[in-house]
Structure 1
Amino acid sequence: MTLELTGASRREFLTAASASGLVISFTVATKAQAQGAALQPINAYVKVAPDGMVTITNKNPECGQGIKTMLPMLIAEELDIPWEKVRIEQADNDPQTYGRQFAGGSMATPLHWEDQRRVGAVARAMLIQAAALAWNCPAGECTTQAGLVLHKASNRKATYGSLASQCAGLTPPDPKSLTLKDPKDYKIIGRATPQYDTAKIVTGQPLFGIDVQVPGMLYATYEKAPVFGAKVASADLAAAQGVKGVRKAFVVDGGTNLSGLLPGVAVVADTWWAAKKGRDQLKTQWADHPTAQQNSEGFAKRAAELAAGPPQRTARNDGDVAAALKGAAKTVEAAYAYPFLSHATLEPQNCTAVVKDGKVEIWAPTQNPEPGRQLVATTLGIKPEDITIHMIRCGGGFGRRLSNDYMVEAAWIARETGAPVKLLWTREDDMRHDFYRPAGFHFLKGGVDAQGKLVAWQDHFVSFGPGGEQFAPSAGMAPTEFPARFVPNCKIDVSTMPLGVPTGPLRAPGSNALSFVMQSFIDELAHASGQDPVAFRLKLLGDQKLVGEGSGAYNAERMRGVVQKVAEVSKWGEKLPARTGKGIAFHYSHLGYFAEVIQVQVAADGTPKVQKAWVAGDVGRQIINPHGAVNQVQGSVLDGVSEALHQKITIENGRTMEGNFDSYPLIRMNEAFPVEVHWVMTDYPPTGLGEPALPPAIPALTNAIFAATGKRVRELPIDRSLLKA
């Protein structure tokens, strides 16, 4: 028999579990069902088998961030089951059971730190209640330990497996009434735990969307216009269908929503290679499109023109910036720019779909499955409840798979083909049809008074958007962006340009670019005023605790803590060899406070070599999985440095020029460097780690380059020719 803790009613027992709307029910399955495939725990969180093994379901998508391990750790801790007795299953998309299921914004920990522990606590309480009834003793006299219920007074004990069937007739307790463990009693939380699927990953077992196989499956490619959204003018379908193995080639009219089904040509074949060869024969011609008038060079030129004139609007205006600049002892003026970036996930976008009898079944490596379901439903004219989405492990996400364009393409092609279809993009498709991190331009002025205090800050931010107060996706900047609220005279102006290029969130959206600008210019002001960069930053943060109110408050005390810690562990101020320097930067994003120091040596030919990075992070009172936490921080720092050193998407005539890793290189093994991670523990709820460690890495590197060479990097990626001795 098995105990099944589920998130929606399958039989008679229900209870509300948390403020997020979680619902728990218990059902019983036979021993045969527990051992075989007959049991269909669609809504299950926990199943306890007769042998005491516990299967825990992970509710959210796994993109390599370790969520498939971390969330079940929370349940297992309160269930009081040894981790060695835990198996993990991936949930399908089921919002009625699990609520919103997504991977983004580093939100899994803050959203589920409590409710997932309460899932485990309810299951544990039910097992205790079953034992107490069997032993005719008060439940309060029973305890648990390592998968056993114990009654010390009578020296009785029972395994979870032996008690599971007896839970069927019991009413679950109110989860809010249960007392969760004291952290001092944690046995799983806080223990370094490898990702659950690591062994399968390193041995090449099928886990990812690209590995999915279903009976009778065909393969598809989908060619879209190089200019985003352009329609098909003509295509040689007969030539494509003449390739051996090609079953069908057809034009898709598509629409104008850059996040939806765009116009293109589908080729379906017995093998993916045959589909690609057929696509190569299409010789597609594309209709004219207004985005063909846009290019990166034109954006930069227009940004400079806008900055030279009055802004379109003012987002913030504290004090009197003009007067403060005029009265400052030292002023600095600089222009900063950063490019469009591609996500470059190592697994290109892909999706497998079956459309049959008015129903759709989808296997997708998606970060955001429910909007994908709604997109497919709307586009195909199918009820959302007739669409099943299996969430498959993503080979990298970084925000790219928050969009589901590849999902709706696969579903459409499968419907038109009348057979199961796996759609697989090429690397060039993936890079040239991304939702890019937007480029941006900042024209800054700053002033420091005679006492070394930053008294004036002005930024004319030129970005993209339709006008008014709207920005293109992920192209905006909040009026509270640091150092706003810390400078008495602060003015943030905004101007925007129209954009036909699709944009969207990239790991640490907004912050991944803004930190480079703000922390670099702060560094300029520190050096220009003759102050140590660490001391200047601490002076800027001041001695206050909170700046602002509510969810938008900035905790200066926590930031001071990580700045002081990273300065200490990096031995800030020590003498370094020629053309070697250290740079510091900090940033608050996704509820995490991070400060970082990077040491770099710049060769005479201008090549920067990062020697080491030190990171101090404050993400609250508990690190759930230290192994995964350090992995996330190290990956974030390497990711940020890779962006700074190499990455740039260039738009010419409305199309992306880069198409593969030869023109859009990522950091290589010989460029990697040690990243030393330190935690500053504070009494705040734990928060996520997938993103907040990335933003400071970029300005820490560029500030280190200045310390090594005296040359300031104001545009990314780093131009090595400017750093020559």
Structure 2
Amino acid sequence: MADNKSESKKVSRRKFLVRGGLGTIGVVAIGTYIFRNSIRREILGTVNSLDLPYTDNTDKPMIWFEVTSENNILLHSPKVEMGQGTFTGIAQMAADELSVSMSQIQVIHAASSTGNIDSFATGGSTSISGLWQPLRELAAMLREMLLKEASRKMNVGIDELTIEDGILSGNGKTMTYAQAAEGVENWKVPDTPVLKSLKEYKYIGKPIARVDLDAKVFGDPIFGMDAQMPDMLYGAVVRPTKIGAKFVSADIKPAENMPGVVKVIVEEDFVGVVANSMLEAEKAKDAIIVTWEGYEDLNTDAIFKIMTVGNGKSTIIQKHGDALDKQDGIETLEFRTPIGAHAQIEPNGVVASVEGDSAVIKISTQVIGLTRKEVASRLGLDVEKVNVIPTYLGGGFGRRLHTPHAVQAAVMSKAVGKPVKYFFSRKEEFQHDMFRPPTHHIIKGKLNAEGYLDGLEHQFVSGDVGNHSALIPDFLPPIIGADIGAIRGGFIQYTGIPNFRSVYWHVSLPFATSWWRSLGLLANTFAMESFMDEMALKANKNAVDFRLAQIGDDSIGVRLKNVIKAASEKANYSEDIANGRAMGFAASIDAGTPCAQVVEVSIVDNEIVVHKVTVSLDPGLAVNPDQIRAQCEGCVIMGMSAVLYEQMYVENGELQPTIYGPYQMALMKNAPKEIDVVLLQGKDTPGAVGEPPLGPIGAAIANAVRRLTGERLTELPLKLSKTM
């Protein structure tokens, strides 16, 4: 299909409201700065539960779709596939509105040259939910465009035509989509047609097999690590091992004449080596003598002292009723979580080719638009002259929400006049990650005479998650007063309690922290739901009943109650210990999606063993139920790994460990034998899925251990202090 250079398209009222929505947040945020605390809390609560809309192009079907000569549809996705199943879900949505079979849809990453660029990112569990409305509308527009062309070419009225698997039929005549599209140069984009009803859909709501399965099973070269360009060289960048070290100078002479070295590039902010092979580039890099300054010999204890409630700047993000400060009978617990690495299988890397006034970048990234802008800015190129070609991601989890190594590779390519491939070593990936920040929590509660909470307070401190990231405008954090990533899961969901308050403390850390799958949800829910469980024990009440009695009756409260009941019933939740096993319960709300989990654990050789996890999730409309179940299973195991094994530490000013093994992670033998997933539908549109199931797992395990051993574990990773 050719681009339409003379199209005219009215902006629908829905699109105006969607696009205006983000602008409204900005205006209200400025008002927040003026009126401060009460409005600020309102905004933070709204942002915390907001279903983020898709705000980029929704008016040009021709930059989203191609009709091939084989009568198939090529869908250029602005969202990247990093294992979450996005390509399958959006293929289902497009196939249904286009009236084609699943086998006729091929989804590929949209290169920035197509113009189909997501200026936000792939993240925040928004791929399916954000595209639910606009993608179906775009597919419906294309269907109407093809109907009109077929009607004209076949001389058959549009109302007389039917479509089945991309074949138009009417009055005894047939024509394929490919034939209808053939030779058309200027397409007139219609107003958004009426979308099909859910009953008319053949694929949405069905457990369709993954569209990217074959490529992964057969090892096709689809990942960034596989990317190649003709006549390609290899790059390496000198990086410090000490936290806070700043580059001063470098003696590059030892590296310049080493075997295979093409050029050593010294920039103001980095030193790079380009060689004929990756091994030669790495060896030459190690021979460069660099002078660093500005670092300190920090250790983990020093970091934890920094990360303590009371340090930094506080913001009350939630408040109702009276504070607990001066009351008697208050129960208090403190919790800590460690530094966490992303530890994705594929390290960050890129292949860059700069020729004249243009550049081509092949990269595993979650931020195509941002990468494009940064490369263009550094090289002084027009943004349109930089073509970013995304690849499949060998794990993302937020690690690839900023990929400045694309700039370094582009600078090296320009210096040598050839494409340059540059990937982090495993050590570099661990030491220069954008880490999950450590956290500290102080939670207070008071029971009334009936054994329910009269007051609850959560105070927590975190390093940057969204703040100071490449995605958050500089003006936003000081205006809204809190890090919108760190506060995920930090709100008190038991709004039936008469008095409650949540206070966020921000502390800057001397190393980079940022987005990690589920953001603050894992740490905040571990603390909050562990405390709720302890209060249920003190009140001598069933943990499930205790929670249900203190949840509000608003729409999200009703949905939370339903997932709690569903998980409890499915797992036959009991607080009895049977055959050396105990159950633990926890629940959370993230990005408007409630989730509850029941785990069954035992202690073997003084280690916590998880046997079964029951997950109840209300993601709204399930576009692909199997995809959602797989996400739940992945979240459970990733969460288990984080809460039972994973932690980074600081020693002599260096982040450690730097390889797998010493950085402990859950292994196949540690996975539960059974993960049972129950899906509910509390609303009629898709909601967030990729991160919400990470919330409850840590607290659910800790709560089971508490019943089994009598010990309340308050630090991650969970380790027994008593020998069983």
TM-score over 0.5 (shorter chain)? yes
Deviation at 1:101, TM superposition (A): 5.9
Change (3 A) 1:224 1:473: farther
Deviates more, 1:227-236 or 1:417-426: 227-236
For the residues of structure 2 that align with 1:507 and 1:100, how far apart are their CA atoms?
20
Specify the alignment match of 2:544 in structure 1: 534
Specify the alignment match of 2:255 in structure 1: 240
Amino acid at match of 1:238: K
Is 2:335 aligned against 1:336? yes
**What secondary structure is seen at the aligned counterpart in 2 of 1:534?**
helix
Amino acid at match of 2:285: R
Change (3 A) 1:245 1:199: same
Is 2:615 aligned against 1:645? no
Specify the alignment match of 1:549 in structure 2: none
**What secondary structure is seen at the aligned counterpart in 2 of 1:564?**
helix
**Residues 299-310 of structure 1: pairs in structure 2 closer than 5 A:** 299-303=303-307, 307=310
Residue 313 of structure 2 contacts residue 506 of structure 2 at CA under 8 Å; is this kept in 1? no
**Residues 481-560 of structure 1: pairs in structure 2 closer than 5 A:** 481-483=491-493, 485-542=495-552, 544-546=553-555, 555-560=556-561
Specify the alignment match of 1:447 in structure 2: 446
Specify the alignment match of 2:203 in structure 1: 188
Residue 586 of structure 2 contacts residue 697 of structure 2 at CA under 8 Å; is this kept in 1? yes
Q: 1:321 aligns with which of 312, 323, 326?
A: 323
Residue 295 of structure 1 contacts residue 652 of structure 1 at CA under 8 Å; is this kept in 2? yes
**Residues 371-410 of structure 1: pairs in structure 2 closer than 5 A:** 371-410=370-409
- Kindly, what percent of the aligned residue pairs are identical? 27
Change (3 A) 1:474 1:234: farther
For the residues of structure 1 that align with 2:63 and 2:114, how far apart are their CA atoms?
13
Specify the alignment match of 2:65 in structure 1: 46
Deviation at 1:578, TM superposition (A): 4.5
Specify the alignment match of 1:420 in structure 2: 419
**Residues 597-636 of structure 1: pairs in structure 2 closer than 5 A:** 597-603=598-604, 605-620=605-620, 622-636=621-635
**Residues 20-39 of structure 1: pairs in structure 2 closer than 5 A:** 20=55, 22=57, 24=59
Deviation at 1:141, TM superposition (A): 2.9
Amino acid at match of 1:545: D
Q: 1:477 aligns with which of 457, 468, 487?
A: 487
Deviation at 1:225, TM superposition (A): 1.2
Deviation at 1:111, TM superposition (A): 1.6
Deviation at 1:586, TM superposition (A): 1.0
**What secondary structure is seen at the aligned counterpart in 1 of 2:179?**
helix
Deviation at 1:558, TM superposition (A): 0.5
TM-score by length of 2: 0.87
Residue 111 of structure 2 contacts residue 390 of structure 2 at CA under 8 Å; is this kept in 1? yes
For the residues of structure 2 that align with 1:314 and 1:172, how far apart are their CA atoms?
48
**Residues 167-316 of structure 1: pairs in structure 2 closer than 5 A:** 171-175=188-192, 178-254=193-269, 264-289=270-295, 292=296, 294-303=298-307, 307=310, 314-316=316-318
TM-score by length of 1: 0.86
Deviation at 1:81, TM superposition (A): 0.4
For the residues of structure 2 that align with 1:50 and 1:362, how far apart are their CA atoms?
29
Residue 580 of structure 1 contacts residue 707 of structure 1 at CA under 8 Å; is this kept in 2? no
Change (3 A) 1:183 1:533: same
For the residues of structure 2 that align with 1:694 and 1:418, how far apart are their CA atoms?
46
For structure 1, the 5+ residue unaligned runs are 27-42, 255-263, 547-554
Specify the alignment match of 2:711 in structure 1: 711
Residue 489 of structure 2 contacts residue 520 of structure 2 at CA under 8 Å; is this kept in 1? no
For the residues of structure 2 that align with 1:195 and 1:57, how far apart are their CA atoms?
17
Deviation at 1:443, TM superposition (A): 1.5
Deviates more, 1:467-476 or 1:110-119: 467-476
Question: What does the per-residue CA deviation read over 1:585-611, in whole Å, with 9 as the maximum and x for residues that have no partner?
Answer: 1111122111111111112x3201110
Deviation at 1:438, TM superposition (A): 0.8
For structure 2, the 5+ residue unaligned runs are 16-54, 468-476
For the residues of structure 2 that align with 1:574 and 1:337, how far apart are their CA atoms?
26
For the residues of structure 1 that align with 2:529 and 2:187, how far apart are their CA atoms?
58
For the residues of structure 1 that align with 2:315 and 2:408, how far apart are their CA atoms?
39
Deviation at 1:472, TM superposition (A): 9.0
Residue 348 of structure 2 contacts residue 423 of structure 2 at CA under 8 Å; is this kept in 1? yes
Specify the alignment match of 2:176 in structure 1: 159
For the residues of structure 2 that align with 1:475 and 1:46, how far apart are their CA atoms?
34
For the residues of structure 2 that align with 1:526 and 1:345, how far apart are their CA atoms?
37
Question: What does the per-residue CA deviation read over 1:118-157, in whole Å, with 9 as the maximum and x for residues that have no partner?
Answer: 1221222223223333454432232222222233xx4443
Question: What does the per-residue CA deviation read over 1:447-474, in whole Å, with 9 as the maximum and x for residues that have no partner?
Answer: 1112122111123323347998888967
Question: What does the per-residue CA deviation read over 1:395-453, in whole Å, with 9 as the maximum and x for residues that have no partner?
Answer: 11100100112212212222233321111100110110011111111122111112122
Residue 117 of structure 2 contacts residue 368 of structure 2 at CA under 8 Å; is this kept in 1? no
Residue 95 of structure 1 contacts residue 101 of structure 1 at CA under 8 Å; is this kept in 2? no
Residue 68 of structure 1 contacts residue 90 of structure 1 at CA under 8 Å; is this kept in 2? no
For the residues of structure 2 that align with 1:130 and 1:248, how far apart are their CA atoms?
56
For the residues of structure 2 that align with 1:662 and 1:99, how far apart are their CA atoms?
37
Residue 307 of structure 2 contacts residue 438 of structure 2 at CA under 8 Å; is this kept in 1? no
Q: CA RMSD in A?
A: 2.7
Question: What does the per-residue CA deviation read over 1:656-711, in whole Å, with 9 as the maximum and x for residues that have no partner?
Answer: 12111122122111111221111111233211311111111111111122122221
Change (3 A) 1:486 1:435: farther
Aligned length: 671
Amino acid at match of 1:268: V
Deviation at 1:12, TM superposition (A): 3.5
Question: What does the per-residue CA deviation read over 1:273-316, in whole Å, with 9 as the maximum and x for residues that have no partner?
Answer: 11112223234342233xx2543211323455x65x99856555
**What secondary structure is seen at the aligned counterpart in 2 of 1:443?**
strand
For the residues of structure 2 that align with 1:58 and 1:610, how far apart are their CA atoms?
38
Deviates more, 1:555-564 or 1:691-700: 691-700
For the residues of structure 1 that align with 2:655 and 2:417, how far apart are their CA atoms?
33
Residue 479 of structure 1 contacts residue 492 of structure 1 at CA under 8 Å; is this kept in 2? no
For the residues of structure 2 that align with 1:395 and 1:420, how far apart are their CA atoms?
22
Deviation at 1:47, TM superposition (A): 2.4
Change (3 A) 1:135 1:420: closer
Residue 127 of structure 1 contacts residue 164 of structure 1 at CA under 8 Å; is this kept in 2? yes
Deviation at 1:636, TM superposition (A): 0.8
